[in-house]
Amino acid sequence: MKIAAVQMVSTTDAARNCAAAQRLVAAAARDGAQLVVLPEYFCLMGRNDRDKLAIAEAPGAGPIQQMLSQAAREHGVWLVGGTLPIRTADADRVLNSNCVCAPDGTLAARYDKIHLFRYDNGRERYDEGGSIQAGAEPMSIQAGALRVGLSVCYDLRFPELYRALMFTAGHPPCDLLSVPSAFTYTTGLAHWELLLRARAVENQCYVIAAAQGGLHENGRRTFGHSMVVDPWGEVVAVLAEGEGVVMAEVDPARIATVRMQLPALEHRRSFKSA
């Protein structure tokens, strides 16, 4: 299956961002992509953390979710819709939700980001917990021929989440891990590729990471480097910065060969803490 990671430099205007996302999904589909991933916060990079509250939608309703559904249906693709804010019972917090639409436009899954980013080096300060409510449940789906594990950005630093995705009761191990992101330039420069390749190697599957990549209207700089990594940890496609699409092919034979030659998934052990 051909897959595509969309890289954006999202603005403070949701309508403009949605139009850009539609255009990029269309471009990916024209080039043969059957599964397309948008980046985290594709619909809005606000001037402050609370801006997302103003565009938050009820589950299953609203213009952003409608746009995702329409784009998936129009182009006949599995669309992993980055993230958008979904309302909660707390008026001051939203869920940072990754909605996946099937090729017929129906909602196939929704994953709410579990791990919330916090960082302060004295010059840059971020705290997602101030406006976002953490999700609780790992989520994987069957997208055509691929079993896909869902995650978002800061989740990448928590390998136990990916182990849970790989070994969900009643399902085969994932073929692909999806990581829509908006890594800061500082943390991305240090750890982005390292972590993506580690997750691919640990789980012997493909990883697709659609990122925000550039200088945004709000002054924030994101790292970009949207990429696809194969089960041996090799980067097979990457886009450094700026808007664009990264394409690659998921080869089931490559997954099978890596798992046969080095059966690490079979060798795993569970350990109980004291």
- Which residue among the candidates 52, 57, 99, 113 is catalytic per the annotation? 113
Place of tokens 């090729």: 103
Establish whether 272 is a catalytic residue. no
How do strand 176-178 and strand 146-150 relate by DSSP bridges? Answer: parallel
Q: How far is CA 237 from CA 77, 86, 206, 213, 228, in A?
A: 20, 32, 12, 15, 5
Q: Give the residue from 140, 66, 144 showing the smallest Cα distance to 103.
A: 144
Beta strand spans in the chain (E): 2-7, 35-38, 78-81, 84-87, 94-101, 107-112, 118-120, 125-127, 139-143, 146-150, 176-178, 206-209, 226-229, 235-239, 244-249
Q: Which of 18, 101, 153, 205 is catalytic?
A: 153
**Judging by DSSP bridges, how do beta strands 94-101 and 84-87 pair with one another?**
antiparallel
Could you confirm whether 40 is annotated as catalytic?
yes
168 burial via Cβ count (<10 Å: 0-12, 13-18, 19+): middle
153 catalytic residue (yes or no) = yes
Catalytic residue, from 18, 40, 43, 99: name it.
40
Q: Which residues are catalytic?
A: 40, 113, 153
